[in-house]
Amino acid sequence: MSPHNANARIAVVIPSYKVTRHILDVIAAIGPEVERIYVVDDRCPDQSGQFVRSQCSDARVVVLENAVNCGVGGAVMAGYRAAIADGMDIMVKIDGDGQMDPALIPDFIGPILAGEADYTKGNRFYDLEQIGAMPPVRLFGNAVLSLLTKLSSGYWHLFDPTNGYTAIHANAARHLPFDKISQRYFFETDMLFRLNTLHAVVADVPMDAVYGDEVSNLKISKIVTEFMAKHARNFIKRLFYNYYLRNMSLASIELPLGLLMILSGLGYGIWHWADSARAGVGTPAGTVMLAAMPLLMGVQLVLAFLAYDIASVPRQPLQRKLFRRRALRTATAPASADTDSTPRQDSDAGQQHD
Ligand SMILES: Nc1nc2c(ncn2[C@@H]2O[C@H](COP(=O)(O)OP(=O)(O)OP(=O)(O)O)[C@@H](O)[C@H]2O)c(=O)[nH]1
Ligand SMILES: [Mg+2]
């Protein structure tokens, strides 16, 4: 497929777990632009897969069954694998609980078809009216998670990181290390981190949230510590890959030097302040200077690092780079097979390190 091909083969992946009440309506609402629909039964206690097989007559539907319960990520990646093997070009992921309107599929595949993005995801925070209708806990949680995700993924222009309405180009998907990506609630966030290691372009798509009568399976309090730990791990990995392992820039010096100056300024200041307080005398102006100077310079250096990081968001879509190289290869070696069907052997797409 060329990056701008309107005849791209579109697939939808629906992870299914306790969604028998909504899944038939979701499937029925999927438009004719979609060639195949992968319903992935994630070892669902309600047997969603069997239910779809017996109740749904849509010829586009393929039911896959996970042998064990893997979580939403495990189910989606099983769908991605099958779609890639079947030669699909773009995979859209929609939940089976009716929270995502299939009428929006063209909005999600549009930027990918136009060659502007490798991955698109929903953002429910464009429309101010909609934001007002959201539960306050969700608003606050999302703001915090968004900030953490900007740091850990490197995609500073994105918001609403846990939004599960997504679409991905097969060229980007086949370079992802599926076996390393978090399978449960950290899936969407981890995908962003992994896409950044590939330098894939990610775009937000404005969408409205639908809060229906679905039963929420998410227990926020249980996952907070897990989220924090995983964000910290991804942030450190990203810093290491982007600023030390694969590239060196002024930013590689700004961050450690800035942190060192902040810590030494603070340490020196607190120590001398405590000393003076114990002796009951004022701290000399020179001592204050020696503490304040490195502190201020350190803050400036860290800000400079952040500015560099924000300006480094990937802008050239991976699908175009891969398409150009494939075209070049076909021109120079006409007898060779299309190497794109071989998963993750393209070193240009970025390397994965764990
Ligand atoms: N909860 C849960 N969902 C799964 C699992 N495997 C696949 N899914 C599917 O993943 C999708 C998202 O799950 P939800 O529990 O709705 O998660 P959510 O939409 O982020 O959160 P809610 O606001 O509670 O709906 C749904 O289509 C589920 O059917 C699993 O093991 N547990
Ligand atoms: Mg849901």
Ligand 1 neighbourhood includes 164 CB (under 6 angstroms): yes
Residue 169 amino acid letter: H
**Best mutation site among 22, 95, 139 for ligand 1, i.e. most ligand atoms within 8 A of its Cβ?**
95
Ligand 1 neighbourhood includes 26 CB (under 6 angstroms): no
Ligand 1 neighbourhood includes 127 CB (under 6 angstroms): no
Closest ligand 1 atom, residue 216 Cα: 24
Q: What is the pLDDT of residue 248?
A: 94
Domain contains 261: yes
Q: What is the pLDDT of residue 236?
A: 98
Q: What is the pLDDT of residue 351?
A: 42
CA of 93 to the centre of ligand 2 (A): 12
Same domain for 19 and 69? yes
CA of 97 to the centre of ligand 2 (A): 6
* Structural domain that includes position 284: 248-311
Domain contains 207: yes
Same domain for 295 and 165? no
Ligand 1 neighbourhood includes 42 CB (under 6 angstroms): yes
Ligand 1 neighbourhood includes 98 CB (under 6 angstroms): no
Tell me the average confidence (pLDDT) per consecutive run of 10 residues in the chain, 354 residues long. Answer: 69 97 97 98 95 96 97 97 98 95 97 97 89 84 90 96 95 96 94 96 89 53 84 97 95 98 97 93 93 98 98 91 71 55 42 41
What is residue 62's three-state secondary structure?
strand
Same domain for 117 and 48? yes
Residue 170 amino acid letter: A
Domain contains 352: no
Q: What is the pLDDT of residue 329?
A: 74
Q: What is the DSSP letter of 92?
A: E
Last residue of a domain, one of 223, 238, 272: 223
Domain contains 323: no
Residue 71 amino acid letter: G
Residue with tokens 């099958």: 82
Q: How many domains does the chain have?
A: 2
Give, using CA atoms, the residue closest to atom 32 of ligand 1: 71
User: Residue 156 belongs to a domain with what CATH number?
Assistant: 3.90.550.10
Among residues 40, 45, 38, 37, which one has the least CA distance to residue 18? 45
Q: What is the pLDDT of residue 335?
A: 53
Sheet strands side by side (includes 10-16) = 61-65, 36-41, 10-16, 90-93, 166-169, 119-123, 202-206
Q: What is the pLDDT of residue 211?
A: 60
